[in-house]
Structure 1
């Protein structure tokens, strides 16, 4: 985890998960405001050398994980306990360390429509394809 303070007040965390992905978490005070997930080898800096907190990943798999991370932020909302929210979100995010090694818990396949299971259950952290999670 690397910490950046681009504006002095807000913080941006760069979370590198093995050689799988990099997640940029934009913090507002103690709350995670938004997150962007990119592949481990993708560039995370803009042309001016600053951390790029706006561009989405070039890969569909990480665009999906970004969407799921946004959903997770809504799920783990507990305004009175921001430390629990950050800890819970980070635990959930860590479950992506095996993004390309975990089969879907419903269909048992590693790929569906060319994508690995990108959804992680919020309680059990089990991997599912989008269509298998219902």
Structure 2
């Protein structure tokens, strides 16, 4: 059931109101994941900060290295769980389902990362 309750005290721009570069970034996320995380629209209230967030995200998550995208998302889900950020656990858990192609692993990690880490080591 959809809610009319706002996600923020700040005005949340619609996608068609975003500067062109931010609109492209947000739509790219939607294309890859099937949804636009609310936090991106909330960040877009401050375009410069939103651009900085995407630059940091891309540097950490998209750069080639020793970790796969799935492993990076597992770390993000685990850190989000440790921080008790349920929004981030759900959002990154959804992304982990996609990149790991393992819904069970993603859900188990999102529900109880401590138990999953013990079994993975």
Q: Same fold (TM over 0.5)?
A: no
Task: Please indicate the TM-score interval, normalised by the length of the shorter structure.
Answer: 0.3 to 0.5
Structure with greater contact order relative to length (CA < 8 Å, sep ≥ 6): 2
Greater per-residue helix proportion: 2
Q: TM-score, normalised by structure 2?
A: 0.32
**TM-score w.r.t. length of structure 1:** 0.30
- Relative to its length, the structure with more strand (as a share) is 1
